[in-house]
Amino acid sequence: MDPNPSMRIQGGQPYPLGAASDGLGVNFAVFSANATRIELCLFDTKGRKELRRFDLPECTDEIWHGYLPDASPGLVYGYRAHGPYDPRNGHRFNPHKLLLDPYARQLAGPLRWSDALFGYRMNHARGDLSFDRRDSAPAMPKAIVPEEAPFTWGNSRPPATPWGDTVIYEAHVRGASMQREDLRPPLRGTCSALADPRFIEHLQRLGVTTLELLPVHAFLQDRFLTERGLRNYWGYSTLSYFAPEPAYLQHNPNELRQAIRRLHGAGIEVLLDVVYNHTCEGNEMGPTLSWRGLDNASYYRLVPGDERHYINDTGCGNTVNLSHPRVLQMVTDSLRYWAASYGVDGFRFDLGVTLGREGTGYDPGSGFFDALLQDPALARLKLISEPWDVGPDGYQLGNHPPGFAEWNDRFRDTVRRYWRGDDGMRGDMAARLCGSRDLFDRRHRRPWATVNYIASHDGFTLADIAAYDGSHNEANGEGGNDGHAENYSHNWGEEGPTQDPVILETRARVRRAMLACVFLSDGTPMLLAGDEFGNSQAGNNNAYCQDNPVSWLDWTQAQRDAGRALSHYVARLSALRRAHPSVRAARYGDASHEPSPGVAVIAWFDADGAPLDEAAWASEQERALTLRRAALREDGSADVTLLMLNPGREPVAFQLPAPAAAWIRELDSAASAPAAPLAAPSVTVAAHSVVLLAAGPLSGDAP
């Protein structure tokens, strides 16, 4: 709507923050501790022409607010903030720059790169100490006062899948469907495609319980990427913490809600990957789009004594100041909004260590963690941290508070190295298979706290781990110097695609063995979308800027024989995980406890069936490994499994450890044979393969 020329602004209320319609008008409220004046700017419905300005007439507890009678949803607006332009002391107010409301829930128009978006004169001799007087409004996206009509959720309810039953599938909204030829082109790359029954059925066949989406918050197309003809594909450059990315919505802002309702109806949870550690405004040389112009000194962590510059614990130019109560409020308000308004089941926190930093460094008892864990709504959700950043002491795997799960890159790297054939990996591999007790068995945490994965969006896909010795990122325009330096990958004889049948078979076995480790280890398994049918990124291990077939899932592979077979294999792993509580321990507890006479919860054996002693663990060259696990089922009977791993290049005959049992071969990653009883006292495990046995009644068991 266009504003009425006779509108007069009233004092309004300081709460809620953002723009809120009450049916008779709209209340505006925005935080700034250091501004001297804030203007509300109203635009035409297309956001192109500024029509009116009002000074927000009241400031209560550093919240500036005003109320426009007769205004209604659909109103397009932005802010201008007055105050000192004093970068040396952390202040960067510039009223010539239109600012996006940090609480904007819907955006109008794209950002158009222009030098006018910067608070200083580009290429000026004084750099960011200079002052730019050009109006940035023509280049800026604007906020839209949202409709407040509730979304109809019907009988949909959150699946509330227990952590112990959770299987995560990490996917990108756009990449999951851009090459879906069975979808109409307008639907591809949108939230609506997530609701497509064929996609949902695919997840169900795999045994997936939880869909984790890469960022869906509105994000910036960074200037340095657009100048290279590239795009910010992953979305880790947040422009708005409350608005969904417009490019993912085909017709209306409810498409994501509709997709979540459909997924919930199918029993699938939805988690969002969220980026509260930094914003898209970058360092002191970045643009002034929202937080910087509203109150730079409050929203960002600045270098003490040198407030012109930003603390950069994120590697992205700035660090959000979660030690400030209003900034922490913004983050928790955002989380509650996505949980309440969109029905989101949980969050994966990008660079979670940054969120736990106080002035003295990382603190697992930080205000951020405390705020979430005491919140009656947020504490019930699934909360996952990426347990590192680039700041001091930035690697904190296993050091998050109870209630959080953590991405376990030690699991990823150990499994890759073990199956690559590195020396001295048996001990570390054993720890990863048993829920990384050395890292997580503290403060009454459960094994589900370790999120086990072999591949994620950041790095090689599973297919590429076994096809490339090094990364091939030339298309990113950074001279091939970006991405992980050490991938712990191996090409098995030829770099990239090959027609050699021996190499192809070896690669296939290694991939299946690594997948078995993900699903048959204690902890929470996570699968990268496309790994279930062999999706490749052609060796690019940092495809953050590749919004093209390099990153998009190639669903034609899923229809080929090899892709179908691998998908069936993943589904089999999921089924085995559900069937056997011994491969997904509910607690750490005493590993020597015997659920069945003579059978401990965890026991390790060499290929000859003998228990591993200190000398065997210390061997650098020995690689074969047998893990026996036992757990009680709900009916009180014992579930006992043997997991035998052979990462070597030759078959190995594994002797079965005592006590004897009626073993059933449940899985052989080298073959597709169905489950069958085992007659011999030994099992030959093929090269680069895993065998899983499940026991019938053990000798000495109670009847």
Q: Which among 198, 187, 237, 181 is positioned nearest to 214, based on CA atoms?
A: 237
Q: For this structure, is 212 an active site residue?
A: no
Number of neighbouring beta carbons within 10 Å of residue 216: 23
In eight-state DSSP terms, residue 205 is H
Q: Are 210 and 347 in contact (CB under 8 A)?
A: no
Q: Which among 184, 195, 520, 220 is positioned nearest to 343, based on CA atoms?
A: 195
Q: For this structure, is 350 an active site residue?
A: yes
Q: Are 192 and 250 in contact (CB under 8 A)?
A: yes
Verify cis geometry, omega within 30 degrees of 0, for the bond prior to 659.
yes
Instruction: Give the integer Cα–Cα distance in Å for 158 and 156.
Output: 7
Instruction: Give the integer Cα–Cα distance in Å for 19 and 38.
Output: 15
Instruction: Give the integer Cα–Cα distance in Å for 527 and 421.
Output: 23
Q: Which among 165, 167, 171, 163 is positioned nearest to 528, based on CA atoms?
A: 171
Instruction: Choose the catalytic residue: 386, 428, 464, 606.
Output: 386
Instruction: Give the integer Cα–Cα distance in Å for 456 and 170.
Output: 7
Instruction: Give the integer Cα–Cα distance in Å for 409 and 241.
Output: 27
Q: How far is CA 386 from the centre of its chain?
A: 8
What's the chain's Rg over C-alpha atoms? Answer: 27
- In the block, tokens 């999951």 appear at 176
Tell me the one-letter amino acid at 420. Answer: R
CA dist 662 to 35, 181, 578, 604, 665, Å?
76, 48, 21, 19, 10
Instruction: Give the integer Cα–Cα distance in Å for 268 and 275.
Output: 23
Tell me the one-letter amino acid at 509. Answer: R
Instruction: Give the integer Cα–Cα distance in Å for 511 and 520.
Output: 14
Distant-in-sequence, close-in-space partners of 8: CB < 8 Å, separation ≥ 6? 69
Instruction: Choose the catalytic residue: 101, 128, 170, 350.
Output: 350
Distant-in-sequence, close-in-space partners of 203: CB < 8 Å, separation ≥ 6? 169, 211, 266, 268
The total number of residues shown for the chain amounts to 703
Q: Are 313 and 391 in contact (CB under 8 A)?
A: yes
What would the two tokens of residue 368 be? 């951020």
Q: Are 517 and 690 in contact (CB under 8 A)?
A: yes
* Residue-wise DSSP of 212-242: EESP-B-B---HHHHTTT----S--SBS-SS
Positions annotated as catalytic residues are 350, 386
